[in-house]
């Protein structure tokens, strides 16, 4: 039985993830894939409640260790309740952010120990590694400017530009370390140009879904 494809989409705030995820869903659905869309943090009743705590802009006193534990708890619930059963049913899972956000934001952004983060992640995800990760590469200053007209930002979006720069640099390092999985897409171009590259990477990934 062929297992489902597990796709994650990553990038700094304002990189255009929402638009490209819609395109991904439409494209994969047109190919006959049964698509499940989820997000991190979130995707389950428990995880969505954790999300509201993590992103609440009034919780400025939140300790970085508290934050990483909340993210990890939300992820563990999402994997067990949504990702694992969906993949087992040959459904294609599209996740808006996943482990690479955790490493980029908590590891590079907050400066937490990467070995510790990887150990916690291993416990939370139970070997559920994405088949392909689309990293929408956009300078964080451009992304934040794109979001200036949006509603008031959440606690993470409201961080200083230096934090977002560290996160961006972290994403680039993760992509260098995982070139087979993480595909870098230049997100500074038009929506259509970005989509053409995203679709090309997805179509290649569809030919390499493991069988179990």
CATH classification code of 28-206: 3.40.50.300
Give the start-to-end residue ranges of the domains of the chain: 28-206
Q: Tell me the average pLDDT across 126-135.
A: 97
Return the pLDDT at 90.
95
- Structure token digits, residue 50: 């954790």
CA distance 194 to 188: 8
Q: Model-level pTM?
A: 0.93
Contact by Cβ (8 Å): 126, 82: no
Return the pLDDT at 209.
47
Return the pLDDT at 108.
98
Q: Which residues does 37 contact at the CB level (< 8 Å), separation at least 6?
A: 21, 25, 94, 96
């Amino acid at each position: 039985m062929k297992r489902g494809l597990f796709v994650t989409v990553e990038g700094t705030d304002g990189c255009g993830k929402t638009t490209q995820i819609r395109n991904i869903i439409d494209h994969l659905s047109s190919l006959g894939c049964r698509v499940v869309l989820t997000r991190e943090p979130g995707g389950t009743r428990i995880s969505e409640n954790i999300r509201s705590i993590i992103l609440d802009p009034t919780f400025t006193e939140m300790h970085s260790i508290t934050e990483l534990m909340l993210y990890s708890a939300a992820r563990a619930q999402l994997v067990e309740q949504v990702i694992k059963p969906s993949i087992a049913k040959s459904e294609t899972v599209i996740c808006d952010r996943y482990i690479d956000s955790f490493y980029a934001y908590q590891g590079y952004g907050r400066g937490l120990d990467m070995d510790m983060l990887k150990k916690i992640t291993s416990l939370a995800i139970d070997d559920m590694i994405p088949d392909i990760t689309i990293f929408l590469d956009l300078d964080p200053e451009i992304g934040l400017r794109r979001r200036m007209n949006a509603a008031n930002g959440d606690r993470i979006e409201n961080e200083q530009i230096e934090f977002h720069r560290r996160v961006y640099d972290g994403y680039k390092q993760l992509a260098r370390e995982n070139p087979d999985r993480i595909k870098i897409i230049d997100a500074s171009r038009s929506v259509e140009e970005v989509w053409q590259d995203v679709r090309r990477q997805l179509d290649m990934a569809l030919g390499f879904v493991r069988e179990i």
